[in-house]
Structures are given as structure tokens and as C-alpha cells.
Structure 1
Amino acid sequence: MQLEFVSAIDAVDAHQWQALLASDYPFLQHRFLRALEDHGCVAAATGWQPHHLLVREGDQLIAAAPMYLKQHSWGEYVFDWAWAQAYQNAGLNYYPKLLCAVPFTPATGPRLLGQLTDEQLATLQLQVQAHCETEGLSGVHCLLTQQTQAHRLAPDWTLRETPQYHWFNDNYEDFADFIDTFTARKRKTLLRERRRVQAQGLTLRRATGHQISAEDWRFFYHCYHTTYLKRSGQPGYLNLGFFEQLGRDMSDNLLMVTAHHNGEPQAAALYLFDSETLYGRYWGCLQEFDCLHFEACYYQGIEFAIERGLQRFDSGAQGEHKISRGFQPVPVYSNHWLANASARTAITGFIDRERQETAAYLQAAEQLLPFKQG
């Protein structure tokens, strides 16, 4: 079994990559990763240098993974800033590190593509660890991995659990059927929020695929870019060229929600979806309106998921406010290995303690769900 690291996704034949992926999960489609690279969103200059892993048996490509050499921890959503600070305090270099993840995307999914036996997987892990040591990388981190895959990578790559909030479709007929599962008080609160959006003269439009026009993309990007500037003083991670290419190459995976006020667009939210899951991803607004974020980013998504028969709505990172709106607290999984033995022991201990705290938090958070008992 031979490992190769390549500096561009186009070094991999798209058909071979797709055959290994063997699903319609949008964020590891060859064309999604290519759009990131084509428009410079991931590059050495941005601290996201592509370093994709290819695994061969003879001439046959049997596995692959999206990997990056990282010079910082921005855009990951599984936070390790404290680990980097501990390295700095000890006079060690935490960067560069090897990251297996989808850039700027806190959405759980496959990370290692292909079907490896347990023996092959163990060999692969050892070879990746050796690569880190040879190349002076502090370690390898596999973020937001599917649960079964994350457990296969453990214990050699320590399993970490962090909370997110996902909506699940219990065969609802429509939105009214969904909120009928709420207690009366919580249902009234949610309906009041939706009425508040209407009372402000806002109308919302859902568009998929080629219904999303070039003008829609320009407006969406203006909202996205403006919102990042307001929040952080920095432009967003992604640029207009990336989004326009996404619109051309992945139209069947896209939903855009646009909010209008007095006939003028004021906000937009962009989702991706596959045959099972809706992923809430990007949002921006030009003017603040009460409850509009909840409507555009949550309620419109839930309605769409019910209409399409999607089973889950992964709304992205953070946001305890989602719980009262029917998003259930769930653990998401990552794996970590550090080359420095002392650091590996310390951080493994931290992760073990954190896992217990996360389990207690998830149990407590479940008590805040709006659903009727029983």
C-alpha cells in the first residue's frame, strides 16, 4: 500500500475520486473541492495548502482523503486554539499541522474515501503519522468525521466529541405537523416569530438549481461579504467566483432563500443538500429585521426538508438558540494525533475530560427541547 500526497484536487481523476466517495454528500464532490482551489479560497497564501492523500495498491487507487497543510486554525469549527497556545508556551511549533477536513464547512460527513480493511486502515494511520514526523508537522486532525469512521480511527487517533444541533424529520407531513409536536407555549412563540416576519412586510422566496440567477448570486455574495465585514472586520473566506462556479457545477445541490422588503432584496441564505440531508451554510443581510434570521436560516429550511423528504437538517456550528426551535443537541466527532508524546498524553487527557462534560451538556440540553413529553 503506497501513500501519495498531491497539491491539487485536479491531480486526481474526477471519476476515480467520485467512485471512492460513492455518495452524493456535496462537500467532498470533486467539483466542490475544485471550486475552492480554482478561486484561491484554499491555497498556501490563505494557510490552507492542499495536500490531498491518495492511497494505491499497485496501479489501483483504493482510498483518498481531502487534506491540507494548515498554518492556523481559522475556518475549522472544531477549536484547538488552546492547544496551539500550550505548544507556544512550551516553545514548540503547533503549525504547520495536517488537517483532514472540508474547508470552512462544519458539516459531518465521510473523510476517508474508499473501503479499507481494519488492517489497511491501521497501516494507513501509521504511514500518515510517519509522514507528519518526516515533514515536521505537529500532527494530524480529522474533523467532523462520520460516527462509524471516527470510531474506526480511534483509539490511535483520539476521538473527540463536540456538540451541534440537528433537526430530524419524523415523517412530518408539513411544517404545521412538525410544530404540532411542540408544547403549546413553545409553539406559540415560534408562530409569533413567523408572524413578526410577515408583519414587517417581508416576503421570502426559495429557489433551487437553475432558478438561481446570476443576479441572485451577486446579491447573495454582497450580503455574505457585508455580513462578514460587519461581524469581524474581515472579508468572508469565500469569494464570488467560488459561489458562481458552485452555481454552474452543483446546481442540483443548491437552495437559496432570499428575503424581500418592499420589493427589494435585503437578505439571503444559501443551503446545500443531498438525497438525505439539508445543510445550512451561508447567510447575510443588508438590514436587520426581527426574527428574519430564524425564518430564512431555519424555518424555510425545515419546510424545504419536509417537502423534499430529507431526513436531517444539519444547520452548522454552534447556536443553542436552535434547541427551542426543534434542533436536537447531538455529538459530532473528530480524531486527533500529535507527534509530540508529552503533548499527545496531555491533550488525550483533556479530550477524555471534555467528553464527559460534553455528554453531561447534551443530556442537560435535551431537557430544553420544545417537544411535548411522551
Structure 2
Amino acid sequence: MVETKNLVAKIVNSISEIPKTSWDACNNASANSSPFLSYDFLNALEISGCVNAETGWHPQHVVLYNTSDETDILAVMPLYLKGHSQGEYVFDHGWADAYERAGGRYYPKLQSSIPFTPATASKLLVKDCNNRQTYEQALISSAIQFARNAEISSLHLTFVPEREAASYKDMGLLIRNDQQFHWFNKGYQTFDDFLNALSSRKRKQIRKERRTALENGITIHHFSGDDLKEEHWDAFFEFYIDTGNRKWGQPYLNRQFFSEINKRMADKIVLMMCERGGDYIAGALNFIGSDTIYGRHWGCIEDHPCLHFETCYYQAIEYAINHGLKCVEAGAQGPHKIARGYEPTKTYSAHYLRDEGFHKAVENFLQMETREVDAHIEYLGERTPFKKGD
């Protein structure tokens, strides 16, 4: 427990120790509140057993309240004690290896992130916007003090907004950059409006890909809210497991997790399912934020040309246009998204390293890495499919 003036920060081992209304009041105070930082999403991860000490994601959430009223929660911060670097999408395996070869102990480390979810969102959830800066600094200071007291090597905050990254830098944390590919709604009223902003060759390519994806008698259905049934999740989980096993080994999420989010937040989900001959053969899971649709997981049990592009990219773009959303975040990696109208976008993470010598070595590395990231984003930005001058 850490006290600062009239504020007290404590660590809890499960989000269930915090009232749902209190956590969501903090998350919803942001104009861009994230569905992934809702109580329901994070609790579903814990209830299903995807996130716990055994999986290497031990919850250590920070709760900030006033000394005069412990029930009045002012701010919260999702935080995990991690025994590995899996499921983060900001890769620090090289840091861990270098530190341990030098005789240090990198794990466990503290990680403030959305497990298995590379989506940008504030991890400092503050109920009172008038005192946002004070409470944000109290949360960070408390997490750093926790690391120092427990002799933990490091604290990492991944996929943070650019505004927060600047604040972390002022507090002495190291800032790391990477890139993703996001689609931005530039006032389009229809999908054709979007296509008309592209060069003729790229416009023709996308139209051809959309036709090709459905040539084998495939129909794509959208399910959300009360329309989402357990049989849809049964089929999707089969796709998820099959594709996950082929791509990277053991998938992170279990079947119970999908049932939990269906019970708790189906209105924030759009499950796009591909049907052929009366059977579901592929699907893409999307979550809906205040102004963004987030593409998270794709899976299939049949391979069809361009079906992945159609289901994950073009359907998401069309959904965003039809529902007045500003952005599509389609997950990590994927330069092939550029040809589909997605643009290179810088991402930010912040890092506290307790060992001063290690801090300096990583700082030098990040200076070089940042130059490479900036150059790569500039290079890719010149190769988007949009008409020149737009």
C-alpha cells in the first residue's frame, strides 16, 4: 500500500475485488473508453482461467482511493506480474536474454496491458477528469514503488496513447515505438466512396478480391447482441484453435472465455461468420469501441482465395462506414494491409527498468530502433493506395 497526500494506492489480486460499477466508472470517463478495459472483458479473462498466476499473468491491479473513503475509487490501473513475455505483442525477449546473461533476473516483471490484445488504450483509468494528471501520476508512482519494494526488474506499459507516452517520458520512463496498420474513415458515406479515394489499379484490385472471396458460394453473416448464440461460438472456437495451432502453437484463449464475453458484453461484439453449403467455415471476431472497430481473431477450416481479406479487412471497413466509426484497428503486423487501404500508424509503449545500467543500455538501443521505425513508417506511408495528393 502506497500513500501520497490524501491518496492511497493498493494492489488487488483479482478484478473481482473491485466493484464493477467503480471500475467501469473509471474506464467510461474517457472519451475513447476501450471495450478491452471494461470490467466485463478483464473479468472474463480471469474467470475463464486464461489469466492467472498459472498462465503467467498474475493480476496485481492498482486501485487509487481517498484516505477518507476507501469505497470511493478514484482511479484504477490493470497490472499483471508476468513470468514470461508471451501474449504482449511488444517484444522484449532480447532485453530479457541480455539482462539475464549479464547476471540479472528479468522475470517476473510488471506488465500494464490488455492480455493478448495489441489495441491502443489508456491503462490509467481515472474517474475525475479534472484531476486526471494527479491521479495518473499517482498510479504510475505506485506501480514503480511496487517494483522497487519487491525488487522486480521492470514495469512495462504497452500500447499507450501518444499523449500518455509524452507524460511517461517526462517521468523518466523509456518510450518505445512500433507500428500497426489502421484504416481511417475520411468522411466516407459508402464503401464506394472509400474506393473512389484510391488509385484506379488498387480500386480494381479490391473489387476483384471481394468478388473472388464469395465465388465458391460463400455468404458472410454478422452476429451481435442477442443474435449471438453458443453454436456460433462453438464453430468459431474450432476455427480459432485450428488456425492458432497452425500459426503459433497453443492458443491463449479457451472456450469458456468466449461464453463469458457472450454473457457479459455481446452488444460490444460483432462476429462475422462465413457460411458455405449450410456450414460455417471461417469467422472473424471484432469488438466495438466508442469510435473504433477492433479486429481481433480470425480462423478458418477451409481455405478460399481472398476470404481472409474480405472477412477481416473489407467487412470491417464497411461496418465502420455504415456505423459512423472513425477507425479500424486490425491487430498487429501485416504490411499487406496497406494495399487494402490501411495506413502505417505509430504505436507507443513505456518502460521502467530498475537497474540504472540496464536502463542506459536499453535507452541507447531504443534511440537506434526509433530511427528505424520512423524511416519504415515514412517509407510505407509513401506507398499507400490512395490517389496522390489525398
TM-score relative to the length of structure 1: 0.97
CA distance in 2, matches of 1:359, 1:245: 40
| Distance in 2 separating the partners of 1:122 and 1:292 | 46
1:149 is aligned to 164
Q: Is the 8 A contact 2:295 2:329 kept in 1?
A: yes
How far has the Cα of 1:174 moved from its partner?
1.1
Match of 1:341 among 356, 359, 368: 356
Corresponding residue of 2:58: 49
Q: Which residue of 1 aligns with 2:292?
A: 277
**Matched length:** 373
Aligned to 2:101: 89
- Cα distance between partner residues in 1 of 2:132 and 2:212: 54
User: In the TM superposition, what are the counterparts of 1:92-111 in structure 2 within 5 Å?
Assistant: 92-111=104-123
Which of 37, 47, 53 matches 1:38? Answer: 47
Counterparts of 1:275 and 1:93 in 2: how far apart (Å)? 40
Q: Which residue of structure 2 aligns with residue 231 of structure 1?
A: 247
Alignment partner, residue 3 of structure 2:
none
Q: Is the 8 A contact 1:39 1:242 kept in 2?
A: yes
Deviation at 1:125, TM superposition (A): 3.4
CA shift, 1:120, in A, is 5.2
Q: 2:15 aligns with which of 6, 9, 17?
A: 9
The amino acid that maps onto 2:262 is G
Q: Distance in 2 between matches of 1:187 and 1:169?
A: 16
**Hey, what's the Cα distance between the residues in 1 that align with 2:385 and 2:25?**
41
Aligned: 1:20 with 2:36 = no
Q: Decide whether the 8 Å contact of 1:111 with 1:146 is kept in 2.
A: no
Q: Are residue 369 (structure 1) and residue 384 (structure 2) matched?
A: yes
SS at match of 1:282: strand
- For 1:292-331, what aligned pairs fall within 5 Å after superposition? 292-331=307-346
Matched, 1:243 2:292: no
1:35-82 CA-partner distances (Å, limit 9, x unpaired):
000010000000000010112221232221000000000000011111
What TM-score do you get using the length of structure 2 for normalisation? 0.93
Aligned partners of 1:100 and 1:111 also within 8 Å: yes
Q: Where has structure 1 moved over 4 Å in runs of 4 or more? A: 115-124
SS at match of 1:289: coil
Aligned to 1:188: 204
Secondary structure (helix, strand or coil) at the match of 1:199 reads: coil
> For the structure 1 residues 192 and 356, does the alpha-carbon distance in structure 2 shift closer, same or farther, using more than 3 Å as the test?
same
Which residue is equivalent to 1:73?
A: 85
Deviation at 1:166, TM superposition (A): 0.5
| 1:261 alignment counterpart | 276
Match for 2:73 among 54, 61, 70? 61
The 8 Å contact of residues 48 and 260 in structure 2, kept in 1 or not, is answered as no
1:202 and 2:218 matched: yes
User: Which range is displaced more, 95-104 or 59-68?
Assistant: 59-68
Q: 1: distance between equivalents of 2:230 and 2:141?
A: 47
Indicate the larger mover: 350-359 or 26-35: 350-359
Change (3 A) 1:147 1:3: same
Any residues of structure 2 matched to 1:206-221 within 5 Å, and which? 206-221=222-237
Compared CA separation, residues 254 and 129, structure 1 to 2 (3 A)? same
- 8 Å contact from structure 1 (residues 138, 340) kept in 2: yes
> Which amino acid is the alignment partner of residue 372 of structure 2?
E
Q: Which whole-Å CA distance do the structure 1 matches of 2:139 and 2:286 have between them? A: 34
Query: Deviation at 1:123?
Result: 4.9
Unaligned ranges ≥5, structure 1: none
Cα distance in 2 for residues equivalent to 1:120 and 1:242: 32
Supply the distance in 2 between the matched residues of 1:100 and 1:212 (Cα, whole angstroms): 31
CA deviation string 1:251-284 (max 9, x = no partner): 1100011111222210011100023100000111
* CA deviation string 1:92-132 (max 9, x = no partner): 11100000000000000110111445455445434422211
| % same residue | 39
Higher mean displacement: 111-120 or 55-64: 111-120
Are the counterparts in 1 of residues 75 and 135 from structure 2 also a CA contact under 8 Å? no
- Structure 1 stretch displaced more, 23-32 or 112-121: 112-121
* Counterpart contact for 1:269–1:284, Cα < 8 Å: yes
